[in-house]
Structure 1
Amino acid sequence: MRILKDLFNLFYPKLCANCDHQLTMNEKAICTFCRHDLPLTNFTNYSDNKITKTFYGRISIEKANSLLFYRKVGITKKLIHELKYKGNEEVGVFFGNWLGEILVDNNEFSDIDIIIPVPLHPKKRRERGYNQVTKFGIRLSNHLKKPFLEDILLRTSTSKTQTFKARFERFNNNDTKFQLSDLTAFKNKHILLIDDVITTGATLEACAKELQKTEGVKISILTMAYTE
Structure 2
Amino acid sequence: METLLQFIKRACNNFVDLLYPVSCLGCSENLTPNEEILCVQCRVKLPVTDLTKTSSSGVALQFAGKVPLDFAYSYLVFSKKGIVQRLIHQIKYKGQKEAGAVLGRWFGYELKEKCQDIAEANLLIGVPLHPVRERQRGFNQSEWIAKGLSEALKIPVNTTALKRTRFEASQTRKGKGARWENVKDVFAIADAESIQGKRVILIDDVLTTGATLEACASQLLKAGCASVGVLTLAAAR
Post-superposition shift, 1:73? 2.2
TM-score after normalising by structure 1: 0.89
1:40 counterpart letter in structure 2: V
Give the aligned partner of residue 157 of structure 1. 166
Q: Secondary structure at the match of 1:30?
A: coil
Give the aligned partner of residue 98 of structure 1. 106
Give the aligned partner of residue 62 of structure 2. 54
- Gaps spanning 5+ residues in structure 2: where? 1-8
Percent of pairs identical after alignment? Answer: 38
Q: Distance in 2 between matches of 1:157 and 1:168?
A: 18
The list of structure 1 runs, each at least 4 consecutive aligned residues, that deviate by more than 4 angstroms after superposition, is none
Post-superposition shift, 1:49? 3.7
Q: Distance in 1 between matches of 2:106 and 2:195?
A: 27
- In the TM superposition, 1:112-191 aligns within 5 A as 112-166=121-175, 169-174=178-183, 177-191=186-200
Query: How many residues of Structure 1 are paired with residues of Structure 2 in the alignment?
Result: 223
Q: Distance in 2 between matches of 1:207 and 1:182?
A: 14
Q: Does 1:109 align with 2:131?
A: no
Q: Distance in 1 between matches of 2:61 and 2:175?
A: 21
Residues 22/164 of structure 1: CA separation in 2 closer, same or farther (3 Å cut): farther
Give the aligned partner of residue 34 of structure 1. 42
Q: Distance in 2 between matches of 1:60 and 1:52?
A: 10
Structure with bigger helix share is: 2
Post-superposition shift, 1:37? 1.4
Assess if the C-alpha contact under 8 Å between 2:62 and 2:210 holds in 1.
yes
Assess if the C-alpha contact under 8 Å between 1:157 and 1:175 holds in 2.
no
Assess if the C-alpha contact under 8 Å between 1:46 and 1:108 holds in 2.
no
Q: Does 1:15 align with 2:18?
A: no
Alpha-carbon displacement from aligned partner over 1:3-37 (angstroms, at most 9, x marks no partner): x89xx59x956111121111110110111111111
Q: Does 1:82 align with 2:96?
A: no
TM-score after normalising by structure 2: 0.86
